Structure 1
Amino acid sequence: MSATVSFKAPSALGPQPVTLSYARVGSGAPLLLLHGIGHHRQAWDPVVDILAAERDVIAVDLPGFGASPALPDGLAHDLPTVGGVLAGLCEALDIERPHVAGNSLGGLLALELGREKLVRSVTALSPAGFWSEAERRYAFGVLLAMRHISRRLPLPLVERMSRSAAGRTALTSTIYARPARRAPEAVVAETLALANATGFERTLRAGAQVQFTDDIPGIPVTVAWGSRDMLLVRRQGVRAKQIIPRARLVRLPGCGHCPMNDDPALVARVILDGSR
């Protein structure tokens, strides 16, 4: 069920009100799902039902994305702040040290929560933060182009394009290896989510200097990378393994940057195995 929760988050100006939108389903150990920049919690829809058979699944719209408003002016959209906001979310929902899985920006945030020992396990799918400077510039350029296009396309054109496999490929092939599999209504919704994301620019600016360079001892970590990731190339997974040597590095054959849609069964299994 979709819901919202409001709570106070710390800032240099004192506690600031934050509201996040989320959906919660299933039973078992809690599992927090975090999407990537410009996306929304529905990115996880292909795997939620599988995960919910064994986990209490909480899929969150990150601040400034989906149905969650951007953070107040006193709060930056940077890694420590958003990590603290997610810790506040868990406290507000009475969730103690959930498992966490994230994709792209969400994968980086999942690793941040693991570094702070706020979660039981981490599964990061193509996480940001393991790039070279050239790779970061390329990824940011692609994201800005996608954002520009999404804001310029009239809604009737997006709806018309989404009805054909060729149109869905044109709209989403950057993040999906198998874009024709994405449902037309999902393509329309995520195009609008990218166009309307109030936290996009602030989040992208905050990420310009981010490099994840710390090991995460004492917590099970899985890093998984799609073999056909066109946004964050898969050699970044090797770097992640070098930085977090105890991590389980998993290859996702035939999957793109957002693998949940490309191979839901495989991605769900990787997440469940990582959170045993």
Structure 2
Amino acid sequence: MSATLSFPVPTPHGPQEATLSYARVGAGEPLVLLHGIGHHRQAWDPVVDILATEREVIAVDLPGFGASPALPEGLPYDLATTHAVLGGFCSALGLDRPHVAGNSLGGLLALELGRQGHVRSVTALSPAGFWSESERRYAFGVLAGMRATARRLPLPLVERLSRTALGRTALTSTIYARPGRRSPADVVAETLALAHAEGFAETLRAGRDVLFTDDVPGIPVTIAWGSRDRLLIPRQGARAKRVIPGARLVRLPGCGHVPMNDDPALVARVLLDGSRPQPSSAASTSLSTVAL
């Protein structure tokens, strides 16, 4: 069910209250889902019902995105602050070292939670932070362009475009390999989420100097990359494997940057497998496809 939660967050100026919107469903070990920049928790909807057969699934709107309000004035949208907010959120919900999975920005945040030992496992889908400088500039330029377009388009035009496969392709082909599969209502909702995301500009600005360079030892880590990711190109997965040599690196054939809609069954399998103990052979796994 959809809900909101307010909780204290430690800051250099003392505790401040943050509020996050989230949805919680299913039973089993808890699995927290984190979306990418400009998106919202509904990005996970194609896989939630599958995951909920084995996990208690908590899909979160990050601060300043979706239905979550902006951070308190003066708090930066950087990695450290968002990490503290997510830690406070998990504590307030009574989640003791949950599994965590994230896409893009959410994947980076999931890895940071894993690096600091706050979660049981990490599954990162096309995580940010493994780019070269030219790749980062390209991705940030594309994201800024998508945001500008979403803010410019009048709602009646977005609704009209969403009714056809060609229109859905025009609106979402940057992040989906199979945009025609996205429902009209979902396309409208995520276009509005991108246009209205209060935290977008500051989050993008804070990401300019971000690189993930530390190992994540002691817990299962899965890094998965869509073979048709047009935003963060798949060769970044090989870099991620070099940084985190014990990670299982998985190829998602035919999937784009946000793969949950392109192949829900495959992505759900990757997430469930990623939150199980990994065999010792996983550390030596190269870029491969999960067998279904």
TM category, shorter: over 0.9
Question: Which residue does 1:193 correspond to in 2?
Answer: 193
Q: Matched residue of 1:11: which SS?
A: coil
Question: Which residue does 1:35 correspond to in 2?
Answer: 35
Question: Which residue does 2:241 correspond to in 1?
Answer: 241
User: What one-letter code is carried by the residue in structure 1 that aligns with 2:274?
Assistant: G
* Alignment partners' CA distance in 2, 1:21 and 1:103: 18
Q: Matched residue of 2:261: which SS?
A: helix
Any residues of structure 2 matched to 1:169-248 within 5 Å, and which?
A: 169-248=169-248
User: What one-letter code is carried by the residue in structure 2 that aligns with 1:208?
Assistant: R
Question: Which residue does 1:97 correspond to in 2?
Answer: 97
Q: Matched residue of 2:219: which SS?
A: coil
User: What one-letter code is carried by the residue in structure 2 that aligns with 1:255?
Assistant: C
- The alpha-carbon deviation at position 41 of structure 1 amounts to 0.1
* Alignment partners' CA distance in 2, 1:207 and 1:119: 23
Q: Which runs of 5+ in 1 are unaligned?
A: none
Deviations along 1:108-128, one digit per CA (max 9) or x if unpaired, are 000000001000000000000
Question: Which residue does 2:288 correspond to in 1?
Answer: none
* Alignment partners' CA distance in 1, 2:18 and 2:217: 31
Contact kept, 8 Å, 1:108 with 1:128, in 2: the verdict is yes
Question: Which residue does 1:118 correspond to in 2?
Answer: 118
* Alignment partners' CA distance in 1, 2:3 and 2:166: 35
Question: Which residue does 1:148 correspond to in 2?
Answer: 148
* Alignment partners' CA distance in 2, 1:33 and 1:217: 21
- The alpha-carbon deviation at position 73 of structure 1 amounts to 1.9
Question: Which residue does 2:284 correspond to in 1?
Answer: none
Q: Which runs of 5+ in 2 are unaligned?
A: 277-292
> What is the TM-score with the length of structure 2 in the denominator?
0.94
- The alpha-carbon deviation at position 27 of structure 1 amounts to 0.2
Contact kept, 8 Å, 1:226 with 1:251, in 2: the verdict is yes
User: What one-letter code is carried by the residue in structure 1 that aligns with 2:115?
Assistant: R
User: What one-letter code is carried by the residue in structure 1 that aligns with 2:124?
Assistant: A
User: What one-letter code is carried by the residue in structure 1 that aligns with 2:240?
Assistant: A
> What is the TM-score with the length of structure 1 in the denominator?
1.00
* Alignment partners' CA distance in 2, 1:113 and 1:84: 10
Deviations along 1:201-223, one digit per CA (max 9) or x if unpaired, are 11001100000000011010000
Question: Which residue does 2:159 correspond to in 1?
Answer: 159
Question: Which residue does 1:46 correspond to in 2?
Answer: 46
* Alignment partners' CA distance in 2, 1:174 and 1:209: 23
Q: Which 4+ runs in 1 deviate beyond 2 A?
A: none
- Identity over aligned pairs, percent: 78
